[in-house]
Amino acid sequence: MTDSKSKTGRVAFVGIGVMGREMARNLAQAGHDVIAYDIVPGAVSALAEYGVRAAASISGAVRQADIVVSMLPDTPQVEMLVHGPDGLLAMPPKGRLFVDMSTIAPEATRRMGEALLAAGIDMVDAPVSGGPGGARDARLSIMAGGSVPAFEAALPYLRAMGTTINHVGGPGAGQAVKLCNQLVCALNIQAICEALSLGRSFGIDLAQMREVLKGGSANSWMLDNLGAAMIEGDTSAGFRIDLMMKDLRLVLDAARQGPVPLPATALVAAQYMEAQAHGEGANGNQALFRVYDRLAGLERGQPAGRAA
């Protein structure tokens, strides 16, 4: 059953941040009746012009929803949405379907899925890749885990937010694939930082070098989307250093449980920690290049070029 106001179904959206605000807007623009909640008062108000209504509490948002979608920072916030006094187990949504699109721990996802299923609520984990631009343009890559019927029920809503949508396995499988995705992203950013650092030491024009790399087999999404900002020293976020560090922590936790040795990931995680220790946590991921500035002594006024 859908609300008479909506063409396709009522969505409760929890977490209206950098990604969530674009995704909620796309759901509204696809004709869904969206009611949103964020812990920061006022976060939802910018979406009023798209018809997104603000709820004062989680239960106020989810009670009448056909589907609940979350885009929250980390595992504890999603656990609170599920298990909290105001959460999904205490106040089940009418449609009994929950899609978590945050990046969180696969094991915790599996446990929440079991608890929800016992209460008659289906959970789909559907983390995304594509950044704020992909969220804005409804071109996200979405990797989903959960039962086939739950995935199929979620699909019409996922199509309003993404273009590449894959069901990759049972509960938690979407998060497992997302962690593999993040490992590749972090190591790719690190590789670009190292190449720019070496190119700089030769006195090469880095903007031109980026164009050359983009034209050949070294091209990547990261080089395309973050390379110019690295070279220009623009550290504005996008995808924050803090969030990638959270993802690398999830990757290394999962690797320890395997156990799976991931030596390169351990190294890049240490570099992200160094960036956080220098107060860069709220900056975009391209600020990893500043770790290389520091390694090269540039912050102490060392020349960027080769030693004579």
Residues catalogued as catalytic? 178
Contact (CB, 8 A) for 183 and 262: yes
Can you give the length of the chain in residues? 308
* Residue closer to ligand NAD, measured from CB, 59 or 190: 59
* Residue closer to ligand NAD, measured from CB, 181 or 271: 181
Size of the site for ligand NAD (CB under 6 A): 27
Residue 92 touches ligand NAD, criterion: CB under 6 A: no
Residue 91 touches ligand NAD, criterion: CB under 6 A: no
| One residue of 60, 132, 169, 170 binding ligand NAD per CB under 6 A | 132
| One residue of 6, 8, 18, 228 binding ligand NAD per CB under 6 A | 18
Residue 80 touches ligand NAD, criterion: CB under 6 A: yes
Q: What value does the CA radius of gyration of the chain take, rounded to a whole number of Å? A: 21
Q: Among 95, 85, 105, 16, which residue's Cα sits nearest to residue 53?
A: 16
User: 85 vs 55, 70, 74, 80, 92, CA distance in Å?
Assistant: 16, 17, 19, 8, 12
Residue 16 touches ligand NAD, criterion: CB under 6 A: yes
Residue 19 touches ligand NAD, criterion: CB under 6 A: yes
* Residue closer to ligand NAD, measured from CB, 248 or 262: 248
- To ligand NAD, the closest distance from the beta carbon of 261 in angstroms equals 24
| Dihedrals phi, psi of 34, to nearest 5 degrees | -105, 130
What would the DSSP string read from start to end of 60-112? HHHTT-SEEEE--SSHHHHHHHHHSTTSTTTS--TT-EEEE-S---HHHHHHH
Residue 14 touches ligand NAD, criterion: CB under 6 A: yes
* Residue closer to ligand NAD, measured from CB, 17 or 169: 17
Question: Within 13 Å of residue 134, how many CA atoms lie on the same side as its CB?
Answer: 18
Residue 56 touches ligand NAD, criterion: CB under 6 A: no
Point out which residues bind ligand NAD (CB under 6 A): 14-20, 37-40, 43, 71-73, 77, 80, 102-103, 128-129, 131-132, 238-239, 243, 247
